[in-house]
Amino acid sequence: MMKPIIREAKPQDKPSIEEIARLTWDGEDYLACVFDEWIKDGNFYVLELNGKVIGTVKLTFLPNRVGWMEGLRVHPNYHGRGFGKMLHDFIVEKGMVLANEGKIEALEFSTYFLNKKTIAMAEKDGFWVKARFFVASVRVSDFEAEEPTRIEPRIEDLTLGIIPVGWRFIKRSEEALEWIRRNAEVYEYNGLHFLGPKNGTTFTPLEPGPAVLRVLLPAMAWVAKEKNREEFSLMLPSSVKPVLPVFRRIGVHIWDNAKEPNVFVFRKKLGV
């Protein structure tokens, strides 16, 4: 058996990566949808074993000098053999090089609370949890869809200190505002705002209480329907914990019925 190698992803790797995506999260993985964009963006890597692509990982530059680790996947047939750790270590090493070049000052990533191996690996590597969120699902068919208005956001519209854009989390700043204008869609409905990534349906209400959400859900359902989705997700700050039972009553289902935040955002400061 040949030694596994990690190399830059190429356009011809697409079928292999589509196969990994099909076998991840019951086929709901977003990897296939972002493949072309990630190839163009760079810092997208694959793990190859005996000529077969069996894993992926990506480093994305985010505002505030953050290197965002994402897309770490290993083909299910190769789980439990240390390939995930190999990819994790590779991208951390890459981050350190970029920090020494003055391009980033920290590595960050988000993960689901059941990814125990990833969490243990990160903590061992000196990452710490900088924020916690709840992720929830909502069925489009539960609502009479209402069309919202696309808007150009202003800094005062960004009411959260850490803003989820899908599964990426951005610290509020003028630089973050510019990034959101390029990479997200911000909507207004009845004077209230929500946002989501351009290529996804994981939405963030910018005023996150249940009363606001009740108003926004039909508008979110409209956007999801336009993107041919039967369901959409919500990222909600940990401060909503006391009102979780109310969310359930309005059709918002927290993943795995978690009573505590189920998404962790990790950070590791690099350099001096």
DSSP assignment letter at 3: P
175 in a structural domain: yes
Structural domain of 197: 132-264
* Token output for 117: 């191996």
118 inside domain:
no
Q: Is the domain of 242 the same as that of 141?
A: yes
- Give dist(CA 217, CA 188) in Å, integer: 12
pLDDT given at position 67: 98
| Same domain membership, residue 205 and residue 96 | no
Cα(155)–Cα(178) distance, integer angstroms:
9
Residues 137 and 260 in one domain: yes
**Dihedral angle sign, alpha carbons of residues 69, 237, 34, 155:** negative
pLDDT (0 to 100) of residue 209: 87
Assigned domain for 170 exists: yes
The type of residue at 23 is: L
> 271 lies in a domain?
no
User: Do 153 and 99 sit in the same domain of this protein?
Assistant: no
| Contact partners, residue 47, CB within 8 Å, separation at least 6 | 4, 5, 6, 53, 54, 55, 56, 57, 74, 83, 86, 87
Q: Is residue 57 situated within a structural domain? A: yes
Residue 46 lies in a domain: yes
- Please tell me the total count of domains within the chain: 2
Global pTM reads 0.94
Which pLDDT score, from 0 to 100, does residue 27 have?
A: 67
| Residue of 139, 158, 137 whose CA lies nearest to 255 | 137
144 shares its domain with 210: yes
Shared domain check, 229 and 151: yes
Do residue 182 and residue 220 come from a single domain?
A: yes
- Do 98 and 207 lie in one domain? The reply is no
> What region, left, alpha or beta, does residue 251 occupy, with left being phi > 0 and alpha being psi -120 to 50 degrees?
left
The pLDDT assigned to 111 comes to 96
**Domain end: 104, 121, 153, which one?**
104
* Digitized pLDDT (tens) for each residue of the chain, 272 residues in all: 689 999 999 999 999 999 998 888 776 778 888 999 999 999 999 999 999 999 999 999 999 999 999 999 999 999 999 999 999 999 999 999 999 999 999 999 999 999 998 999 999 999 999 999 999 999 999 999 999 999 999 999 999 999 999 999 999 999 999 999 999 999 999 999 999 999 889 999 998 889 999 999 999 999 999 999 999 999 999 999 999 999 999 999 999 999 999 999 999 999 75
Q: Are residues 155 and 257 in the same domain?
A: yes
Of 143, 164, 142, the residue nearest 262 (C-alpha)? 164
Residue that finishes a domain, picked among 86, 104, 122: 104
